[in-house]
Amino acid sequence: MSRVGKKPVVVPSGVTATIEGQTVKMKGPKGQLQFVVHDDVTVKLEQGAISVDPRFETNRARALWGTARAQIANLATGVSQGFEKKLEITGVGYRAAVQGKNLQLALGYSHDVVYPIPEGIAIVTPKPTEIVITGNDRQRVGQVAAEIRDFRPPEPYKGKGVKYANEFIFRKEGKKK
């Protein structure tokens, strides 16, 4: 039995939720999002909360039950508060700057890396070594953060590179004589 799936998703104040067939649509101050729930799961809107139940007693339906509930909860959080990921840049001469609709990254290569900022995502650089990615879709915010990190992932010897703000880099000892 899914412990996550059993809990109903409470629709926050200021957010309107509608269910049309298997599509859940939410509209709030941060924008509008929708999610198509799998056919093995039923979705109901009652008394300001969305409840999710498996349609059949199969392993697949039970697996998708908690997943669908988590996706719907992410919609509610996204349109009401939004999501944020912070990246930190470590290394001499490594820096980031937003120029127009592009993120300019100097990461020790012979050229600057130019990353075009996708629609629905806002990127801010409060310091040259800090990147803040915000948006209402949790998956897209995480994907953009992962793509930026992939330009220069942190290395274990000096810790240079782009890392998540809450990430711990396991450090290795260098060569011995």
And the tokens for 156?
Answer: 């274990």
Helix spans in 9-157 (H): 59-80, 138-150
Per-residue pLDDT tens, the chain, 177 aa: give them.
667 888 899 998 889 999 998 999 999 999 999 999 999 999 999 888 999 999 998 999 988 999 999 999 999 999 999 999 999 999 999 999 999 999 999 999 999 999 999 999 999 999 999 999 999 999 999 999 999 999 999 999 998 999 999 999 999 998 887
Contact 77, 136 (CB under 8 A): no
Classify strands 102-106 and 113-116 as parallel, antiparallel or unpaired. Answer: antiparallel
**pLDDT (tens digit per residue) in 134-152:** 999 999 999 999 999 999 9
Widest CA span of the chain, in angstroms? Answer: 70
pLDDT for the residue numbered 177: 79
Q: Could you read off the pLDDT of 79-103 as tens digits, one per residue?
A: 999 999 999 999 999 999 999 999 9
- For 3-80, CATH gives 3.90.930.12
- The pLDDT, as a whole number, for residue 163 is 95
As annotated, the residues of the chain forming the CATH 3.90.930.12 domain(s) are 3-80, 83-164
Supply the pLDDT for residue 1.
60
Q: Is the pTM of this model over 0.75?
A: yes
Query: What is the rounded distance in angstroms from the CA atom of residue 153 to the CA atom of residue 159?
Result: 9
**Class of 83-164 per CATH?**
alpha beta
Say which DSSP state 39 is in.
T
